[in-house]
Amino acid sequence: MNLRKELAGIKRLVVKVGSNVVTKKNGRCDIRKMRIIVEDICELQENGIEVVLVSSGAVNVGKFFLKKHLPREGKIDLQQSASAIGQPKLINKYSSLFEEQHSICSQILLTHDDFRKRKRFLNAKQTIEVLLKNKITPILNENDSISYTEITVGDNDHLAASAAQMVNADALLIVTSAQGLYDKDPEEEGAKLIKKVSFDECLNHVDMTTKTTCGRGGMESKIQAVNKVTPLGIKALIASKDNNRIVLDPLTQDTGTLFGPKSSYDPELRKAWLISTKKLNCHIEVDKGAYEALLEGKSLFPKGIVETSGEYYKGDCIDISYNGEIFAVGISEYDMTEVEKIKRKHSNEIEDTLGHKVSDEVINTINLVLNKEKLDERVS
């Protein structure tokens, strides 16, 4: 597969498809378009690219089954009721289409709390990582049947941006009814498609007020989502649902609008927001072998742990030290009593020691950030 040069080398992609992409005006699933999306995703997987799909459509599918006691139009109770009906119907269609390709999909419903609360965030992240390793496509949607104003993500554009951050994606593709970003309403005469947008390019002159009839997010929402990921080095595209290959065309051809990421970003910033709150007076001391492995970007295994101190639990961010000096922080997969029991042991001994095993690692490299200032001091 020949990706366009700007996307060469991507290994993980988040694809967001709107309600108007996967459903028709009458609320039924658009099987033809859904099949194209699934076929494209499976082809990407065959070429070594992991894909997380964020799909709207549940509310639009479900609202046409509400014949009596219809909630007020545009209110959150309509979305909750309609989503409760539409979500199983939508995921059932996806499941059948993936099975046609001899593949499997899964469903994960999220709210803002799942991103805001660290333990829930880690559980969701770990679930997605396991699914991707097993070549199973995670299909994400906001949990509209229980979401309310205080916990809603906002819309699936923002959910896709949060998911791209969560899984350390290389690129985000948002599929919508427009060909991409125009300098004004594409229905107006003389509207021009903007093919590329550089990082930090001013878009104040662009009219982004239009919305689709069946989705919550318009172009403004999509640009806001893009602006969340490009500072983290994640490339973004907005492309049309009317492409022959809905997912593959914008990845392989010069179509849609491509948003360039920040060129001089620090990769550690993708992790830093996970560990903004560190548990005080909690740390793990490691031996020389573990210290050197962590510096090379590897995970921390129990065999390399010399001692642990402080009161912490799974999901807490704690210090990591070597020879008594803190050089990193990371999120522990086990609590302090469990770490005390498994320290100096091999990973294959964890289950026999604890009676369960959450992970082979005590701290996974994706949840570890090195203190560069401390390391620089040692070098000098």
Domain boundaries, given as residue ranges, for the chain: 8-265, 270-379
Check residues 295 and 216 and name the one with the higher pLDDT: 295
The pLDDT mean for the chain works out to: 86
Residues 6+ apart with CB under 8 A from 29: 22, 23, 57, 61, 89, 90, 93
The stretch 67-84 carries a mean pLDDT of 67
How is domain 270-379 classified at the CATH fold level? 2.30.130
Give the chain's length.
380
Residue 140, φ and ψ in degrees, nearest 5 = -105, 145
Note the Cα 209 to chain centre separation in Å.
Answer: 26
CA dihedral 229, 113, 333, 308 (to 10 degrees): 100
The answer to whether 143 touches 82, Cβ cutoff 8 Å, is no
pLDDT for 251-288, tens place per residue?
999 999 999 998 766 666 666 665 656 788 899 999 99
> Looking at residue 374, what is its pLDDT?
52
Is pLDDT above 60 for 378? no
Per CATH, the architecture of 8-265 is what? 3-Layer(aba) Sandwich (3.40)
The stretch 151-175 carries a mean pLDDT of 83
The answer to whether 1 touches 252, Cβ cutoff 8 Å, is yes
d(CA 37, CA 50): 14
Q: 207: pLDDT confidence band, cut at 50, 70 and 90?
A: low
d(CA 284, CA 309): 7
Predicted TM-score of the model (pTM): 0.72
Is pLDDT above 80 for 154? no
pLDDT for 77-120, tens place per residue?
677 788 889 999 999 999 999 999 999 999 999 876 777 676 78
Q: Which of 29-43, 58-72, 247-261 is least confident?
A: 58-72
> Looking at residue 186, what is its pLDDT?
79
Q: Which of 56-65, 76-85, 226-235 is least confident?
A: 76-85
Is pLDDT above 80 for 8? yes
* DSSP β-ladder status, 257-259 and 196-197: parallel
d(CA 192, CA 45): 34
Query: Which residues on adjacent β-strands are paired with residue 308?
Result: 284
The answer to whether 299 touches 361, Cβ cutoff 8 Å, is yes
